[in-house]
Amino acid sequence: MTTPVVDFLNRYSESDYIRLHMPGHKGRSTDDFFRYDITEIDGADNLFDPKGIILESMKNASELFSSHTYYSCEGSSLCIRAMIYLAMLEYKRIHNEESYILAFRNVHKSFVSAIALLGIDVEWITSDVPNYLSCPISPDELEKYLKIKEKKPAAVYVTSPDYLGNILDIKGLADVCHREGTMLLVDNAHGAYLKFLKNSLHPIDLGADICCDSAHKTLDALTGTAYLHVSDNCSEFIFNSVFRALALFASTSPSYMLIRSLDALNAHLSNNYPLELQLLEDKINKIKEELSLHGYRLLGNEPLKITIDAGDYGYSGTEFYSLLMKNKIICEYYDKQYIVIMISVSNTYKETEHLLKILLSIKKEPSLVNNPPAFSLPVASIKPFDAIRSMTEEVKVSKKIIGSVAGDIIFNCPPAVPIVICGEIIDYNIYSALKYYGYKTCNIIKNPDKLD
Ligand SMILES: Cc1ncc(COP(=O)(O)O)c(C=O)c1O
Residue 32: in which H helix or E strand, if any?
none
Pocket perturbation via mutation, ligand 1, pick of 78, 79, 81, 110 by most ligand atoms within 8 A of CB:
110
- Spell out the domain ranges in the chain: 4-270, 274-361, 384-450
d(CA 393, CA 188): 35
Residue 110 beta carbon below 6 angstroms from any ligand 1 atom = yes
State how far the Cα of 358 lies from the Cα of 327, in Å rounded to an integer.
Answer: 7
Q: Going by DSSP bridges, is the β-strand pair 392-396/305-309 parallel, antiparallel, or unpaired? A: unpaired
The arrangement of secondary structure in 4-270, i.e. its CATH architecture, is 3-Layer(aba) Sandwich (3.40)
For residue 336, give the 3-state DSSP assignment: coil
- The Cα–Cα gap between 169 and 294 comes to 29
Taking the C-alpha atoms of residue 22 and residue 413, their distance in angstroms, rounded to an integer, is 39
What number of residues does the chain have?
Answer: 452
β-bridge pairing 210-214 and 183-187: parallel
187 touches ligand 1 (CB under 6 Å): yes
Q: Is 76 in the pocket of ligand 1 (CB under 6 A)?
A: yes
CA–centroid distance, 388 to ligand 1, in Å, is 21
Cα distance between residue 424 and residue 430, in whole Å: 10
Give the pLDDT of residue 129: 80
d(CA 290, CA 360): 8
CA–centroid distance, 214 to ligand 1, in Å, is 7
Query: Quick one: pLDDT at residue 161?
Result: 97
Q: Is 77 in the pocket of ligand 1 (CB under 6 A)?
A: yes
Q: Compute the distance between CA of residue 427 and CA of residue 385 in angstroms, rounded to an integer.
A: 21
Q: Do domains 4-270 and 384-450 have the same CATH topology?
A: no
Architecture field, domain 384-450 = Alpha-Beta Complex (3.90)
Q: Report the C-alpha gap between 102 and 154 in whole angstroms.
A: 8
How confident is the prediction along the chain (452 residues), in pLDDT tens digits per residue? 999 999 999 999 999 888 878 788 888 777 788 899 999 999 999 999 999 999 999 999 999 999 999 999 999 999 999 999 999 999 999 999 999 999 999 999 999 999 999 999 999 999 988 778 899 999 999 999 999 999 999 999 999 999 999 999 999 999 999 999 999 999 999 999 999 999 999 999 999 999 999 999 999 999 999 999 999 999 999 999 999 999 999 999 999 999 999 999 999 999 999 999 999 999 999 999 999 999 999 999 999 999 999 999 999 999 999 999 999 999 999 988 999 999 999 999 999 999 999 999 999 999 997 777 777 899 999 999 999 999 999 999 999 999 999 998 877 777 788 899 999 999 998 999 899 888 999 999 997 765 54
SS3 call for 351: helix
Q: Ligand 1 centroid to 332 CA: how many Å?
A: 13
| Architecture of domain 274-361 in this structure | Alpha-Beta Complex (3.90)
